[in-house]
Amino acid sequence: MEINKYGVDLEKLNSKLQDVPNLAPNHDLNPPSKSFGNMLKEAVDEVNAYQKTNEQVMADMATGQIKDIHQAAIAIGKAENSMKLMLEVRNKAISAYKELIRTQI
């Protein structure tokens, strides 16, 4: 491990830079292995995980087992915001679908 006089680990930095995609104009930034459906499923799974955490936090608050109210409030806020975002995405998708249905060919 090489650390220069500024305290930067050059090997670690170089390994991180290898992960950065080529930003050339014709470079495909979305690899074919990750489709829109997969990304949407991952997002829904993440919202589901936040909701499960929220349920656990609420149960812990009801039973008096919670020690850190601040962390509980953050977990509840994340669950609430992720659910609101998911509902807005759903509403936009439904609106786009309805618009496509009305389109005349």
| pLDDT, tens digit (0-9, with 9 covering 90-100), for 49-81 | 999 999 999 998 889 888 888 988 998 999 999
Give the predicted TM-score (pTM) of the model: 0.59
The DSSP symbol for 97 reads: H
Stated length of the chain = 105
- The answer to whether 47 and 83 have CB atoms below 8 angstroms apart is yes
Per-residue model confidence as pLDDT tens digits over 21-41 = 554 445 555 556 778 888 888
Phi then psi for residue 9, to 5 deg, are: -85, 105
User: Which tops the pLDDT comparison, 75 or 105?
Assistant: 75
Q: What is the pLDDT of residue 91?
A: 95
Neighbours of 54 (CB within 10 A): 19
Q: What is the mean pLDDT of the chain?
A: 80
What are the structural domain ranges in the chain? 30-102
* 3 torsion bin: left (phi>0), alpha (psi -120 to 50), beta (else): beta
The DSSP symbol for 21 reads: P
Residue 88 binned pLDDT confidence (cut-offs 50, 70, 90): very high
Q: Would you list the DSSP string of 3-15?
A: B-TTS-BHHHHHH
